Chains A and B, each alone.
Chain A
Amino acid sequence: MQGSTSGGEFVFEAPESEPVGSVLYAEHLKLTSKSRMSGFAGYLMPLWYSSIAAEHEAVRARAGLFDCTHMGALEVSGDDAAGFLNLVATNDIGKLKVGRAQYSYVLDAAGNVLDDIIVYRRGEDNFMVVVNAANEPKIKCYLSELRAGRAVVDATDPGAATRLTSLHPMIRDMRDADAGGDCRVDLALQGPASAELLAKLIDDPSAREGLSGLKSFALIQTQVGGIDCIISTTGYTGAQTCFELFVHPAQAAELWNLILEAGGPLGVLPCGLGARDSLRIEAGLPLYGHELNGKFGISPFEAGYGWAVKLQKEFFIGKAAMERVAGTYEMQVARIQLPGARGIRPVRLDDPVLDEQGVCIGWVLSNAKAGENQYALAYVEKSVASEGKSLGVYYLARSASQVQQGRKQNIEKGQTAEADLTGAVVSRFARF
């Protein structure tokens, strides 16, 4: 594992390793076959249990339970914790109250997105930072390089590193066995029936009441069926009623089974990576490497999250780059609704998006089927991405024989093509 910086860019080479089962692996094998397990961010995770469509529908109509134990959870604590995080993250930690959560970004000094994160304020000086599984080793390395003064903080001001090295927060991996009793992994319970289900399982009446009044992006700590949990109203499905439960890994399987057992009569289903992806796409939520950063280097502004980058803050890493981007970006992520009934070919990553004249104005980043529609998140010219705008998609060649028949393998911006499927830009985000 190593991290280095050049010109403000933080470069990290993740160690190669075989994927391992999550702490719920044995539970997954009771529910689905080994062949449905897929390597994801170093873990073997189920793609689906029943079917992607059934699990997607369960979350929209009832509720679904997701294994998110692969997500990274870091604790940043001590007198300097808030000050440190406020320099490292783009959103304003000063505005984050105890018991609330905040969506934010970690950038390098060149302004590249290293990860999108949720910061949970558990106490005045105690934060839980949840990071993407795929980015966890990089973020851990980055934070330790920053603390040691080895990463570039401001490319134009070498002295800026002291802003961070003068601070001494404690940083701890909450999933590390060394964390002892306060070890945490994440399960997500998402969908309209999840509040009722969780209320049934919460032992303490006042906590039950507290949960029902909980705003979005808030957290409480209580017992669920006798198991200590940090419960937050956050998620990655677009469901308005949504929870994440952070539990000790030794009790994760017990909690998983408890929820599935109690949720069975309500039609609650275990959900795999497939539905996790289709739900987040339908809702318009970005996936790091697709709608954030990735080959286009997509910024938070282009992704539709400029509000999470507080340019009025005196300083944060990457601020100068974000100030430039904020006033000049010309592409943005748009959510496009297209016909998606069975028998209609799905659009795919890199398929060109066309305006009404057939001119390529961008490309598909992610796509998912939801009911009779398919939704594409696409990187398109800002000027044509307004809601209601009709856009087309061209299917790039899916096979060698299609190439022989003349189907193109890539189309550049400005080139023209004939649309295979026509849809329209819909609201950037959707809640359910």
Chain B
Amino acid sequence: MVVEGLLYTKDHEWVKIEGDAVTMGITDYAQEQLGEVVFVELPEVGKEFGAHKEISVIESSKAAGDVYCPVAGRVSAVNEELNTRPELVNEDCYNAGWICKLTVTDKAALDDLMDVKKYEEYLKTL
């Protein structure tokens, strides 16, 4: 499942752009691959990440998956709800299962993101 209006990475993160801020999470494909999510390591609020740097680790009962920062930015908020309800990543990855919000510090990497059509095509190649 994919959602209109979001941008996507090859590592299966989604990004929602709201002015200078972005909200990010992992896609349905990614949560499906991980299986039951039991733990999400959230980044620290205020911390800066370069584009493509590891920002979070999501662990299922069988695997740990790195989440990469889709665009350079500073963490402005994290989804604290995931500390006690990591299963939201499985149940509602595009909404309640969001991971963090970033204030974009360099927009360059936004150009590499795929729109929904391109991401759907990319999924077919996997």
Which A residues lie at the B interface, using CB under 8 A?
A: 35-36, 47-48, 51-53, 274, 277-278, 340, 342-346, 348, 368-369, 398-402
**Docked complex Cα distance between A346 and B29 (Å):** 22
Query: Of all chain B residues, which has the CB nearest A400?
Result: B54
**Docked complex Cα distance between A400 and B66 (Å):** 10
Which B residues lie at the A interface, using CB under 8 A?
A: 29, 32-33, 35-36, 38-39, 41, 53-54, 57, 59, 61-62, 64, 66, 83-87, 126
Residue pair A343, B38 in contact (C-beta under 8 Å) = yes
Query: Of all chain A residues, which has the CB nearest B83?
Result: A343
Query: Of all chain B residues, which has the CB nearest A278?
Result: B61
Residue pair A274, B33 in contact (C-beta under 8 Å) = no
**Docked complex Cα distance between A345 and B60 (Å):** 9
A35-B33, A52-B62, A342-B87 known, 17 other contacts, Cβ within 8 Å: A47-B35, A47-B62, A51-B35, A274-B61, A342-B39, A342-B84, A343-B38, A343-B85, A343-B86, A344-B39, A345-B38, A346-B61, A369-B38, A398-B64, A399-B66, A400-B54, A401-B54
Contact of A345 among B39, B62, B84 (CB under 8 A): B39
Q: Which of chain B's residues have a CB closer than 8 A to the CB of A52?
A: 35-36, 61-62
What are 25 A-B contacts with C-beta separation under 8 Å? A35-B29, A36-B32, A52-B35, A52-B62, A53-B36, A274-B61, A274-B62, A278-B61, A342-B85, A343-B84, A343-B85, A343-B86, A344-B38, A345-B39, A346-B39, A368-B61, A369-B61, A398-B41, A398-B57, A398-B64, A399-B54, A399-B64, A399-B66, A401-B53, A401-B54
**Docked complex Cα distance between A94 and B112 (Å):** 69
Q: Report, nearest first, the 5 A-B pairs whose CB atoms are least far apart.
A: A345-B39, A369-B61, A401-B54, A343-B84, A399-B57
Q: Which of chain A's residues have a CB closer than 8 A to the CB of B86?
A: 342-343
Contact of A343 among B39, B53, B57 (CB under 8 A): B39
**Docked complex Cα distance between A368 and B61 (Å):** 7
Q: Taking the nearest CB of chain B, how far is it from the CB of A329, in angstroms?
A: 31
Q: Taking the nearest CB of chain B, how far is it from the CB of A53, in angstroms?
A: 6
Knowing A48-B35, A399-B54, A401-B54, say if A346 contacts B59 (CB, 8 Å). Answer: yes
Q: Which of chain A's residues have a CB closer than 8 A to the CB of B32?
A: 35-36
**Docked complex Cα distance between A36 and B60 (Å):** 14
Query: Of all chain B residues, which has the CB nearest A274?
Result: B62
Q: Taking the nearest CB of chain B, how far is it from the CB of A274, in angstroms?
A: 6
Q: Which of chain B's residues have a CB closer than 8 A to the CB of A346?
A: 38-39, 59, 61
**Docked complex Cα distance between A401 and B42 (Å):** 12
Main secondary structure, interface of B, reads: mixed
**Docked complex Cα distance between A345 and B59 (Å):** 7
Q: Which of chain A's residues have a CB closer than 8 A to the CB of B57?
A: 398-399, 402
Q: Taking the nearest CB of chain A, how far is it from the CB of B78, in angstroms?
A: 14
**Docked complex Cα distance between A53 and B62 (Å):** 11
Q: Which of chain A's residues have a CB closer than 8 A to the CB of B33?
A: 35
Query: Of all chain B residues, which has the CB nearest A36?
Result: B32
**Docked complex Cα distance between A340 and B38 (Å):** 9
Q: Which of chain A's residues have a CB closer than 8 A to the CB of B54?
A: 399-401
**Docked complex Cα distance between A340 and B85 (Å):** 13
Q: Which of chain B's residues have a CB closer than 8 A to the CB of A401?
A: 53-54
Query: Of all chain A residues, which has the CB nearest B43?
Result: A401
Q: Which of chain A's residues have a CB closer than 8 A to the CB of B84?
A: 342-343
**Docked complex Cα distance between A368 and B35 (Å):** 13
Q: Which of chain B's residues have a CB closer than 8 A to the CB of A399?
A: 54, 57, 64, 66
Q: Which of chain B's residues have a CB closer than 8 A to the CB of A51?
A: 35-36
Q: Taking the nearest CB of chain A, how far is it from the CB of B27, in angstroms?
A: 13
Residue pair A274, B35 in contact (C-beta under 8 Å) = yes
Q: Taking the nearest CB of chain A, how far is it from the CB of B5, in angstroms?
A: 25
Q: Which of chain A's residues have a CB closer than 8 A to the CB of B64?
A: 348, 398-399
Q: Which of chain B's residues have a CB closer than 8 A to the CB of A53?
A: 36, 61
**Docked complex Cα distance between A53 and B35 (Å):** 10
Query: Of all chain B residues, which has the CB nearest A51?
Result: B36
**Docked complex Cα distance between A340 and B61 (Å):** 10
Q: Which of chain B's residues have a CB closer than 8 A to the CB of A348?
A: 64
Knowing A278-B61, A398-B59, A400-B54, say if A342 contacts B35 (CB, 8 Å). Answer: no
Q: Which of chain B's residues have a CB closer than 8 A to the CB of A36?
A: 32
Q: Which of chain A's residues have a CB closer than 8 A to the CB of B36?
A: 51-53
**Docked complex Cα distance between A276 and B86 (Å):** 23
Query: Of all chain A residues, which has the CB nearest B37?
Result: A342
Q: Taking the nearest CB of chain A, how far is it from the CB of B51, in angstroms?
A: 15
Q: Which of chain B's residues have a CB closer than 8 A to the CB of A48?
A: 35
Q: Which of chain A's residues have a CB closer than 8 A to the CB of B66?
A: 399
Q: Which of chain A's residues have a CB closer than 8 A to the CB of B85?
A: 342-343
Q: Which of B29, B36, B85 has the most chain A CB atoms inside 10 A of its CB?
A: B36
